Amino acid sequence: MRYSKQRELIYNTLKSNPCHPTADYLYSLIKPLYPPLSLGTLYRNLNQMVERGRIKKISGLNQADRFDHIVQVHAHIICEICGKVEDVFLSEELSRQLNKSAEKTAFKINRREIIFNGICKECIKKQEK
């Protein structure tokens, strides 16, 4: 992938926003800094970075796709109330067990997504009031 100023701006904005932003959220942050950027260009660049393994796309959250600059194996936990997404890093032992389980199938595993659902600390506090 050739260097592009807008792609680097997209990546750096994603990296500086650990909230696992949606494309629309990234667009709202980048557009004022780089007015020539179109939403189509943003999506195209995000998808190219996903295809090349530079970033991860988090799908299947019953909401818009989110993007993550951390590409090493990890899980995500999603708040069922506010939609907040956080990283969960797995222990080496759990990673080995998951790999062993995957090897026992007749599938070639292309990617692994582990998603936990729950309620974040902030939402729990709001519910308690």
Q: Do 96 and 52 lie in a common domain? A: no
Indicate whether 45 and 76 sit together in one domain.
no
End position of a domain, from candidates 44, 69, 94: 69
Is pLDDT larger for residue 36 or for residue 92? Answer: 36
For residues 76 and 98, membership in a common domain is answered with yes
pLDDT band of residue 60 (cuts 50, 70, 90) is: low
- pLDDT higher for 60 or 86? 86
Q: Are 43 and 23 in contact (CB under 8 A)?
A: yes
Average pLDDT over residues 10-25: 94
Q: How many CB atoms lie within 10 A of CB 57?
A: 17
Mean pLDDT taken over the chain: 89
What's the CA gap between 61 and 47, in Å, rounded? Answer: 18
The domain that contains 96 carries what CATH number?
3.30.1490.190
| Whether residues 3 and 45 fall in one domain | yes
Supply the range of the domain harboring residue 64: 1-69
Q: What are the pLDDT digits (tens) for 103-117? A: 888 787 777 788 899
Q: Are 77 and 65 within one domain?
A: no
Q: How much is the average pLDDT of 83-97?
A: 87
For 12-46, b/e burial (b = at least 16 CB within 10 A) is: ebbeeeeebbbbebbbeebeeeeeebeeebbeebb
Tell me the three state secondary structure of residue 58: strand
